[in-house]
Amino acid sequence: MSRKEAPLASRPKTLDPNEYFNVSPDYRRAEEERAALRANLKRQYQSQLNNPHRKELIEDPALTRWVHARANPYLYFKPTFKTSLLGAMFGVVPLFTLYYIFKTDRDRKEEKIKAGTLDRKFSLSS
């Protein structure tokens, strides 16, 4: 029984047989070096974290970068088609829509007043 690929989802790169069977020795060595570097950094962080005599704060550079990026969003914002479209949809379109609704309602009411067909009951709000 052969398995078919899912029609709406692609196979993740890590599960592609071409990616983990047909890789060059240089690529495999580079992957192993990166994994060793990550493991070493993780071991150093865990040893600092679990040190019972620790008095200072442990600095996590990734967390520091993330906090800085969150605190200064305009330094790292890149305008794209999607962000421009969202800005127009939520910033510009509602203003013009509300202007059109209020203007047409006011014009309709003014025409009824001029024609004398508006039933004007007393109220504090119109």
pLDDT digits (tens, 9 = 90+) for 55-70: 988 888 889 999 999 9
> Could you tell me if 6 and 15 are in contact, meaning their C-beta atoms sit under 8 angstroms apart?
no
Q: Is 45 exposed, middle or buried (0-12, 13-18, 19+ CB in 10 A)?
A: middle
Q: Can you give the pLDDT at residue 120?
A: 76
- pTM score of the predicted model: 0.44
Position 126 pLDDT exceeds 60: no
d(CA 17, CA 43): 31
Band (36; pLDDT cuts 50, 70, 90): very high
Position 33 pLDDT exceeds 90: yes
- Alpha-helical runs (H) found in the chain: 17-20, 25-49, 61-71, 73-76, 81-87, 93-115
Among 68, 51, 72, 52, CA closest to 60: 68
Cα-based angle 73, 66, 52 (whole degrees, multiple of 5):
150
